[in-house]
Structure 1
């Protein structure tokens, strides 16, 4: 995980990916830096709890969501468009919760790639920043359906940080370590 944090601090932009502008180290709060620094420990602990205590059907969904190895995010990869997405909460109480599919969208403007969860009661909106050829950082903010969407940094209690990986031709996963509510690890699975 230290490698990720050093990548965050060095922040080298890969061609044609996320179009990060070098601002990530300046944007991260100390709390969020610590969450990202503990990503590997958090993932290991949360997944062990989830697999030990989740129903067999939910564990199968979890394992399918995490299947695959990280693929390049540059070289002509275009994530723009509509996605179906679901959240899986691992660790904590309850120790494994799998939500149904909702709608998400990735779009691009001068700031780079942006994610927005469009349906469901719990939503997120934020920007991606390049960490490596196969990983992006996500800085976003949570909000509830009916509220005005927030941006990262507007309300520290709603800040969300994740590491995103492409795990298949049409699959992305975002790993949210130590979310501020309910679980040890949130996984946003995106497919199309």
Structure 2
């Protein structure tokens, strides 16, 4: 399958006007959609993120930079000064390698919703936990009404891919791949000695970009 076909498919999987953005770059050499297609056409499914990720979520990651830029631009005119300061401070942190960082243990986490219905919202801190089941790191948000649970896949020294599921506290936790209403995808980025975050492009509910920020629990 040609790369231009993969680009069109990536745009089709997103309910966002991204076709122009893809056309402007003209480069799909790093497309996750393309890589997944090539793997499936070859009939060769490696035990990697390409096997598990849905095409919709692959498309969201392919459009990550465009989605993020648009979400931040949308948040700036109406966001409160204090919330904008938080967003800018996070964005200014230099990326760091995950090498040497053990994610397992107890964390505090907070959600920042960027763009969309409320422009910019910074929520309170809640509890999160990361464990290692021998296959990968596994995240559980254990506090707050909106929860996530899922696992990480290596994507180089400075980035992990997170595949997770959204659910409400007290409700059943669906498996990843159960459907577009619950599937979550994001890039995990280390930005401090004991801090990191996951950025979720084009979440289903409320915003254009969700950031889940983590700091080590005292």
Give yes or no for TM over 0.5. yes
Contact 1:139 1:159 in 2 (8 A): yes
Matched, 1:183 2:207: yes
- The runs of 4+ residues in structure 1 deviating greater than 2 Å are 1-10, 64-67
Shift of 1:51: 2.1
SS in 2 for 1:22: coil
Matching residue of 1:31: 56
Provide structure 1 residue ranges, at least 5 long, that are not aligned to the other structure.
Answer: 11-20
Q: Aligned in 2, Cα 1:39/1:92: closer, same or farther, shift over 3 Å?
A: same
More strand as a share of residues: 1
Give the one of 63, 66, 79 matched to 1:54: 79
Give the one of 142, 146, 167 matched to 1:143: 167
Matched, 1:159 2:147: no
Give the one of 110, 120, 123 matched to 2:147: 123
Alignment of 1:100-115 (within 5 A): 100-115=124-139
SS in 1 for 2:77: helix
Alpha-carbon distance in 1 for matches of 2:214, 2:34:
23
Matching residue of 1:13: none
Matched, 1:94 2:94: no
Contact 1:90 1:186 in 2 (8 A): yes
Q: Given the two structures, how large is their TM-score scaled by the length of structure 2? A: 0.78
Q: Aligned in 2, Cα 1:83/1:53: closer, same or farther, shift over 3 Å?
A: same
Cα RMSD of the aligned pairs, angstroms, is: 2.0
SS in 2 for 1:52: coil
Contact 1:7 1:131 in 2 (8 A): no
Whose relative contact order is higher, 1 or 2, with alpha carbons under 8 Å and at least 6 apart? 1
Shift of 1:57: 0.7
Q: Given the two structures, how large is their TM-score scaled by the length of structure 1? A: 0.88
